[in-house]
Structure 1
Amino acid sequence: MDIDALHDRGRRRIETLTAEVAADSTVTETATAILKAVYTEETQQGRSVTTIAAAAVHVACKVERVPVTAAAIADAADVQESHLLRRSKWVQSEIDRPVEAFDPGPFVDEYADALGLSDETRELAHNVVTVGIDQGIASGKSPAGFAAAAVYYAATLRDERCTQDEIHEVSGVSKITIRNRYQEQAEVVGDVT
């Protein structure tokens, strides 16, 4: 198959994936541009256009600061998450644009909106994230999980009704992960009200 046909197939796959994960047209455009830049005659050998399209969507979500997890993209693309993450690393190494690897901010906003929490609680959750990053406890953690715990922690500090079950429902992050991140944040952040 020639590269133009592969690009066309990849673009269609990107459109399907972004629709399935409810990402906006900006992600579709960015992912399509990334796919065309990295998926060439030389690099396409041995690399599935479906997996590269999924990796392009994953990287585009990071670039555009759209809170979609790798797990959601992998599920929509029907690929293993570990394989998607490996291809995403390759895609990032091929593009000339630095990609913010760890940014829980958009996830904080999404979860706070979904739970109907106050602006003060949202701001406090952002502060918890910032302090956690500054204190070095975020390294190697999922941005979605870190954000879910920060929202739970902030709601707890502000006495707003928000349970681990509710956070789990809106984020898809396991309650065990929420509890673990929450405990780590509580140890280094303390009472930041």
Structure 2
Amino acid sequence: MDIDALHERGRQRIETLVAELAIDGEVAETAAAIFTRTYTEETQQGRSVDAVAAAAIHVACKIERVPVTAATIAEVAEIEESHLLRRSKWVQSAIDQPIDAFDPAPFIDEYCDALKLSDDTRTLAHNVVTVGIDQGIASGKSPAGFAAAAVYYAAMLQDEQCTQDDVHEVSGVSKITIRNRYQEQAEVVGDVT
């Protein structure tokens, strides 16, 4: 199959996945540009169109700051998450653009909206994340999990009705992860109200 046909197939796959993920059209445009740039005659050997298309979406979500986890993309694309992450790393190095991989902010906003939490709680959750990053406890952690814990912690500090179960339901982050990240945040952040 010639490269133009493969590019078209990749763009179609990106459009399908973006529609299934119900995410912004800008992500599709960015992902298509990334796909075309990285999937060439020289690089296509041993790399499936579907995996590179999914990886392009994952990288595009980071660039566009759209909060979609690798696990969610992998599930919709029907590929192993570890395979998606390997391809994403390859795509990211191929486009040679530094991307702030750890950005919990969009997840905080998404979770606060879904839980109908106050602006004060949202601001406090952002502050918890900022302090946690500054104190070095965020290294190696999932942005979605770190954000979920910060939202739970902030809601507790603000006396808003919000349980770990509630946060788990809207975020998909396990209750164990929420509890562990929350405890780490509470140790270094304290009462930031």
Residue matched to 1:105: 105
Cα distance in 2 for residues equivalent to 1:20 and 1:166:
24
Cα distance in 2 for residues equivalent to 1:93 and 1:125:
32
Cα distance in 2 for residues equivalent to 1:96 and 1:80:
24
**Deviation of residue 53 (structure 1)?**
0.2
Cα distance in 1 for residues equivalent to 2:52 and 2:38:
9
CA RMSD of the aligned region, Å?
Answer: 0.5
Work out the number of aligned pairs and report it. Answer: 193
What does 1:6-45 correspond to in 2, within 5 Å?
A: 6-45=6-45
**Aligned AA (1:174):** S
The alignment status of 1:68 with 2:77, answered yes or no, reads no
TM-score of the pair, normalised by structure 2: 0.99
Residue matched to 1:89: 89
Residue matched to 1:59: 59
**Deviation of residue 22 (structure 1)?**
1.3
**Deviation of residue 19 (structure 1)?**
1.1
The alignment status of 1:118 with 2:122, answered yes or no, reads no
Give unpaired runs (5+ residues) of structure 2.
none
Residue matched to 2:143: 143
Cα distance in 2 for residues equivalent to 1:26 and 1:104:
20
Cα distance in 1 for residues equivalent to 2:3 and 2:12:
14
**Deviation of residue 96 (structure 1)?**
3.0
SS in 2 for 1:23: coil
Give unpaired runs (5+ residues) of structure 1.
none
1:61-112 deviation per Cα after TM superposition (whole angstroms, max 9, x unaligned) = 0000000000000000000000000100000000032111100000000000
Residue matched to 1:190: 190
**Deviation of residue 20 (structure 1)?**
1.2
Residue matched to 1:179: 179
Cα distance in 2 for residues equivalent to 1:21 and 1:168:
19
SS in 1 for 2:179: helix
TM-score of the pair, normalised by structure 1: 0.99
Q: Percent identity?
A: 80
**Deviation of residue 132 (structure 1)?**
0.5
